[in-house]
Amino acid sequence: MHSLDTRVPAVLLRLDRNPFHHGTLGAVRSLGRAEVEVHLVADDAHGPVGRSRHLHRLHAPPAAPATPEDVRAALLRVAARVGRPAVLIPLDDAGALAVDAVADALADRYLLPLPTTGLPARLADKGSLAGLCARLGVAHPPTVTPSSPRAAADAVRDLGSPAVAKWSRPWLLPRERGLRSAVLVRSPREAAALHARTAEAGSRLLLQAYVPGGRDADWFVHGYAGRDGTVHGGGTGRKRRARPRRAGLTTVGEWTHDEGLWTLARRLLAALRHRGAFDLDFRRDSRTGTYHLLDFNPRPGAQFRLFADATGTDVVRAAHLDLTHRPVPAPAPRPGRVFVVENHAPLTALRARTAAEFAWSDADDPDPAAYLWRRWRRHVVRRSRTRLAHGAQEILLTLSTRAREASPALLSGTPATERAVTDA
C-alpha cells in the first residue's frame, strides 16, 4: 500500500452546480481515507458531498458565470485559509480550463501538472478535438460545423439520419433551458431548429455522423499522466448501463481490459504531451471494430473510482503522489471490477456483487447516501411534474412539425425535439 504525503492538503475544484456529482464524493473519500486534508471549492453546502466525514472544509466557489480571473481570486483566498501549498485537482471541464488559464498566478500556492498551455481548452472543445484527431490519425466521426440553420439541415442530409448534434463547449450551456451537451437529430428540420439556439447555447453547434454500435459499443479510458508522461491510476472500461439508455452518463461500468484501446489512448496522450488527469470516451463501430474518440475531458471522470487497483491507487491518488514527488506503485489491475451509481441504477445496485463499488453508499461514510436519497426523491418528483408539462408541449410540437413537413421552408425558430445522447 502506498503512502501519500499527508503534510500536503488537496483542494478539489468544481464549478458545475450539480449537487449529485458523484465523482466529487469519490475524490473526497479517496484522499480523505488516505489521511490527506481535503478542501472542496464547490456549491455543495446543501448537497450530499458536504456531509462526508472525509471532507475537511467546504469553500464557496466564485459566482456563476465565473471567469478565469474569478476562479484565480477564489483559489487564492482558499490558499490563504489553507496556509500551505496544496495539490489542486479540478473535477469538471470549466474548472480545468480556468485553472490552465491562470496557472502561472497559482504556481506558488498550488502543486499543478504542467500541460502545454492552452491544451486543455483544445481538448475539451469538441470542435478543435476533431481537428486534433485528424492531425494525429485518431478515428473520429465525420464532423461538420454549420454556419446557419439551412447549413445544419444540409449537413444532416449529407451525414445521414440520425446525426449527433453537439455543442462545442458544453460547460457554457445555461442551466434549466432544456439544452443538452449532445442529442440525436433525426431530420434536417430538427438540426435547423437546434442551430437557431446557438446564441442561447454560448458555443458552436457541431454535427457528427452517427457511429453504429451494439451493446458493448461504448467505452472509456481514465488515468493520470504524470510529470514524465507515464500513465497511472487508470484503465479501459465498458459502459454496461448508461442514462439515457446505452448512452450518456455511465451508471454501471465494468473494468474491461482492452489492450488495443489502452495502447491507442497512451499513443494519443504521448503525441499531445498531455499532463494531468484525463477521461476519454470512445465508441466502437460495429461494422469495422474501430474505436472512435468522442470526447477528451482533461480532468478525472465521474466514475474514476472504478479503476482503484489492488494497491489502492486511483486517478486522484496518482495525482497527489506524482505532484508531491512520491513514487506511484506499479499497476495492479482488477479487471471485472464494477462501479454502480445507485440513484440512476437502483435495481443493479440491489443485485450487485460485493466486488462492486457504489458511488454513494458506504458503511464507513453513510451520511452522503442518506442525504442523497432525501434530496433525490424531491428531485425526481419535481422532474416528473416538469416532464408532464413538457409532454403536452411535445405532442403539440409533433403535430405542428408533421403539418409543416410538406413545406420546403426551414422555420429556424422551431424548438428541436431533443433526444439525449450523452451528458459528458
Q: What is the pLDDT of residues 233-289, one digit of tens each?
A: 999 999 999 886 656 789 999 999 999 999 999 999 999 999 999 999 999 999 999
| Residue 32 amino acid letter | G
Q: Which helix (H) or strand (E) holds 161?
A: none
pLDDT of residue 399: 57
Inter-residue contact 181 to 173 (CB < 8 Å): yes
pLDDT of residue 420: 44
Q: How many CB atoms lie within 10 A of CB 258?
A: 19
pLDDT of residue 4: 96
Stretches in the chain below the pLDDT threshold 50: 409-424
Grid cell locating 88: 489542486
The β-bridge partners of 276 are 225
pLDDT of residue 115: 72
| Residue 263 amino acid letter | T
Grid cell locating 360: 454513494
pLDDT of residue 377: 75
Q: What percent of the chain is modeled with pLDDT above 70? A: 87
